[in-house]
Amino acid sequence: MIQKPKGTRDILPQESYKWQCIENKVKDLFQNYGFKEIRVPVFENTELFQRGVGETTDVVQKEMYTFNDKGGRSITLRPEGTAGVVRAYIENGMASMPSPVKLWYNMAMYRYENVQKGRLREFHQIGAEVIGTNSYMSDVETILMANRIFEILNIPNINLEINSIGCPECRKKYQEALKEYIRPNLEEYCETCKTRFEKNPLRILDCKEKRCKELNSGAPIILDYLCEECKTHFENVKNMLNKLNIKYQVEPGIVRGLDYYTKTVFEFVSKDEGYTVLAGGRYDGLIEELDGQSTPAIGFAMGVERLVEIYEKYNPNTIPEKDMDLYIAYIGDEANILATKLVEDLRKENIYVEKDVTGKSLKAQFKYANKQNAKYCITIGEEEVKSNKVKIKKMDTGEEKEISLEIENIISSIK
């Protein structure tokens, strides 16, 4: 038997309706904030992620699905959404649209991860990007929208953690201080961190190795090194969140896993599961890094698998897709044709109606209707074809009523 690749999942009907429910609610929410959907390719030129996400990140160093296509191009399955969205923004001249440009997406992502709880190799992210403003107000609105997602999905026990990682200017000073802190113990850090030390010491703070985490515990914090502008920006964000009564915690340890972040970064962490469900931040340098005009932006992405897992816990009674309104059982060739016409006409009226297409016996048809929880059942035989009259049966009570076979009669009997 061929099995699915490690780190992938099948989303079966008994789960997919929950996904749809979440997706529909989030989509409506985004719309009310003025966001429009964007869809970008599953694969991109590898260079996009090398430059966008950053050479020294875990994603680029260890996790990308990269291969040469038959034309010899280096191709990578997208590990995250922002780089592709920004590429599309630049390539399609979206800078000329009214600013800010507000986009959302719901896409599968691919990362060669150590598979464990909440960590897959194919997973899904719903994300949002606001491109074109450096105002703290857009940080606040983005955080408000993210916060709202958990409210509308009835998910409690989520902590909002925020931090500022400054701009390249403040980071220069900070990196020196950080290196000074790390240098005496550098030999004790993991091999990856050793290579990060010169190239990108900030990345060391995001290392998942236990020993590195311990060594990092007394490291200087970037908040103490912010330049005036970054400091004011962060103060403004916090003040406004306070005024709006949004609870948050400043978490100086958050540096995020992707290199493009600047200034405000944030994570929504599930207290129950202990993992981050939604993460994001400002990325004021990315558009220029990808050869666009220097344009500030902010965004977030949330892991849909993680979101569904928590959603299920707090919403055990999500309504499944609608039950079958009507089953039309038949016996004989003419009845088969009449039943087929009827179900087609009823479906045009948006009725969920089925008839047998497998050649089942009448008894087996009834059994199927029962198993599928059909609300009503009509049986058509030779007699009924001639008289154009049928009995319609309410399945839960067994109550029967005779009607003539016009669409309007059927519809009014099942309402």
Residue ranges in contact with Mg ion by CB under 5 A: 257
Region from 27-35, 95-103, 113-121, 135-143 binding ligand ATP, contact rule CB under 6 A: 113-121
With respect to Mg ion, which residue has the nearer C-beta, 118 or 332?
118
Distances (CA, A) of 17 to 12, 21, 315, 320: 9, 6, 13, 6
**Chain centre distance of CA 273:** 17
The yes or no reply on residue 77 touching ligand ATP (CB under 6 A) is no
Counting other chains too, the contacts that 401-410 makes at CB distance below 8 Å and 24 or more residues apart are: 405/338, 405/342, 407/342, 407/345, 407/346, 407/349, 410/326, 410/342, 410/346, 410/378
Phi, psi (degrees; rounded to nearest 5) at 104:
-130, 160
| Number of other residues whose CB lies within 10 A of the CB of residue 84 | 23
With respect to ligand ATP, which residue has the nearer C-beta, 275 or 352?
275
The yes or no reply on residue 146 touching ligand ATP (CB under 6 A) is no
**DSSP, residue by residue, 43-59:** EEEHHHHHHHT-TTSHI
Region from 13-21, 33-41, 131-139, 275-283 binding ligand ATP, contact rule CB under 6 A: 275-283
With respect to ligand ATP, which residue has the nearer C-beta, 120 or 378?
120
**Running DSSP on this structure, what letter comes out for residue 117?**
T
With respect to Mg ion, which residue has the nearer C-beta, 7 or 257?
257
With respect to ligand ATP, which residue has the nearer C-beta, 312 or 323?
312
Region from 27-35, 114-122, 179-187, 221-229 binding ligand ATP, contact rule CB under 6 A: 114-122
- Please tell me the chain's helix, strand, coil percentages from 3-state DSSP, rounded to the nearest 5: 45, 20, 35
Region from 139-147, 231-239, 296-304, 353-361 binding ligand ATP, contact rule CB under 6 A: 296-304
* Cβ pair 53, 80 in contact under 8 A: yes
CA gyration radius, the chain: 28
Decide which of Mg ion, ligand ATP, none touches 119; Cβ closer than 5 to 8 Å per partner kind. Answer: ligand ATP
Residue-wise over 6-25: b if at least 16 C-beta within 10 A, else e?
Answer: ebeeeeeeeeeebbebbbee
Among 220, 257, 332, 381, binds ligand ATP (CB under 6 A): 257
Helix segments in 185-332, DSSP class H? 191-199, 210-216, 228-243, 286-289, 304-314
Rounded least distance, CB 287 to ligand ATP, Å: 18
Among 276, 295, 365, 379, binds ligand ATP (CB under 6 A): 276
Decide which of Mg ion, ligand ATP, none touches 299; Cβ closer than 5 to 8 Å per partner kind. Answer: none
Query: Could you give the angle at which helices 304-314 and 13-32 cross, rounded to 10 degrees?
Result: 100
Q: Which two tokens stand for residue 404?
A: 């003539």
Rounded least distance, CB 125 to ligand ATP, Å: 5
Among 27, 119, 173, 375, binds ligand ATP (CB under 6 A): 119
The yes or no reply on residue 279 touching ligand ATP (CB under 6 A) is yes
Rounded least distance, CB 257 to Mg ion, Å: 5
**Which stretches of the chain bind ligand ATP, using CB under 6 A?**
80, 111, 113, 118-120, 123, 125, 256-257, 276-277, 279, 301-303, 305-306
